[in-house]
Chains A and B, each alone.
Chain A
């Protein structure tokens, strides 16, 4: 797909970006080959199908285990299909721990993290992509270099900082840092802003619009596909984060789903049917998100690798 096509797509908002093409593009070099290819294609198909079964089998196993009775979980050899489908396992698992509270807590944190990530990174990326200023190159290099710093090097001082602010046992340490941008998203959104013609912004400036206005009224709407990617990635990150809540939350009423699952494991030990039911429920939103919005996942990867 040519660059200009993408651009018109962004502008018309049809979202037909390169994201789709990675999944759909046919390999370029087989077209002219003749019939002797059919054996090769069959071989590939069988290999891929077998691989798919292998890749999906853990998820099926999780589902099957979640429906088994405890006796069946412990029976040897284990089976791929539950004898009786114990849907009640899901209700029992949900009620065995305050999962409703955990869900509300997780949604609260995740919502703020997503809002913060989308707004802050978009704002910062606009500055890097569309405003000329002295020192921009150095600051962008600093942005990229922060990706190379292992998170654990700053973990302890951050804890000391938040402890001194009295933020331990609150959601602030899990939310506030996301309002200051992060390198990967800044880079990704900047790449996307680069595809928006500068003339558009120049024209708005001539009309007397300020950069704030242009960012809000033109920048945000035009970068919607990339913002969707940032939203989904940051949703995923916040939803699955275990380290942050483990460090900062002590009060069980504040626990997130990830912490709840870990506690649940401690209590149930080997009651795998309930553990798998709980795990599946926690993973379900991410699985659904993936199937509905997979092009945004893929787009993020395309943009981060330099647009191809």
Chain B
């Protein structure tokens, strides 16, 4: 009896591994293997046709000490993340609060606000390039209606990154739905109790809604931080096929890495860049996880 149970369990184990085998193979072939390869490669002068000659920390050294464009690209990326993450988070919370009201036609509103989030790719980037055209685009036309003389957007180094952030804000609908679902999950009794105490709508929002949705805010911040550091496609298209835009103001980290790897074929250098990015993202995620208990409120803790 005992022996038979063991064999059944073992059989299940074999089945389990058969089922997750595609992931395991893919993990080693496309994730773990490449990670180690790029770590090793970052200490070489590899250019895809050459041998991989060990050059020590030379790549890292010249990146950090000598390379002005590396610093520019890192600065551009940090600028983009520093503005786009808080703005999209606040925007999404604000819109979902509006959409969590009893208003006629609310279902249609929710659908419309979500629509831009599913649109992406080159078509969207071209659309925004046209919208942001200083003379013939829609954005400056609308700004003109309220008496604002719009900037030159993608032609002005000071306004290129705000241009991309504006485009990003258009599609906050994706995380808006997360917040909306979370707000709908907040227990009605909490609001009733606050109502009896005479709390205003604003106080209810700040003291009930916001704390109850902090887990989603946390998830949103972590994922959009990781995503923000990887900005590439929009910068590639909107800066004229990877050239980096006016005064390199759209030369984001991944764009510079791309140019090093696939334009200059300096792959060792690019792989060193990729590991620096990996470490930055990893450390930021760790900091987020460490800070989370201070402000993220999990319902389970109270029960």
Binding site for B on A (CB under 8 A): 21-32, 40-41, 44-45, 47-49, 51-52, 55-59, 61-62, 65, 73-78, 120, 123-124, 126-128, 131-134, 136, 139, 142-143, 146, 148-161, 163, 177, 179-181, 186, 211, 215, 236, 239-243, 246-247, 258, 261-262, 265-266, 272, 275-276, 278-280, 282-283, 286-287, 290, 294, 297-298, 301-302, 305, 308
Contact = CB atoms under 8 A, between A and B. Distances in A.
B56 interface: no
B237 A150 contact: no
B120 A131 contact: no
Given A45-B104, A48-B103, A52-B109, A276 B127 contact: yes
Interface stretch (B59-67, B68-76, B81-89, B135-143): B135-143
B13 A134 contact: yes
B130 to A, nearest CB: 5
Interface majority SS (helix, strand, loop, mixed), chain A? helix
A280 B124 CA distance: 9
Nearest to A183: B23
Contacts of A76: 135-136
A290 B118 contact: yes
B98 interface: yes
Q: Which 5 A-B pairs have the closest CB atoms?
A: A180-B26, A127-B19, A133-B16, A240-B121, A157-B34
B110 interface: yes
Q: Interface centre among B142, B144, B285, by most A CB within 10 Å?
A: B142
B182 A282 contact: no
B120 A240 contact: yes
Contacts of A78: 136-138, 141
B22 A179 contact: yes
B54 interface: no
Nearest to A180: B26
Contact of A157 (B38, B174, B177, B277): B38
Nearest to B186: A28
Interface in B164-201: 170, 173-174, 177-178, 180-186, 188, 191-192, 195, 201
A265 B15 contact: no
A163 B48 contact: yes
A301 B30 contact: no
Contacts, number: 285
Contacts of B170: 55, 58
B100 interface: yes
A239 B229 contact: no
A148 B285 contact: yes
Contacts of B192: 29, 32
Given A44-B103, A280-B123, A148 B177 contact: no
Contacts of A283: 119, 121, 123-124
A126 B112 CA distance: 35
Given A139-B24, A146-B27, A153 B102 contact: no
A157 B27 contact: no
Contacts of A74: 136
Contact of A152 (B17, B144, B204, B274): B274
A154 B38 contact: yes
A163 to B, nearest CB: 7
A297 B118 contact: yes
Contacts of B105: 45
A123 to B, nearest CB: 6
A97 to B, nearest CB: 13
B264 interface: no
Contacts of B24: 139
Given A26-B102, A48-B109, A154-B31, A77 B16 contact: no
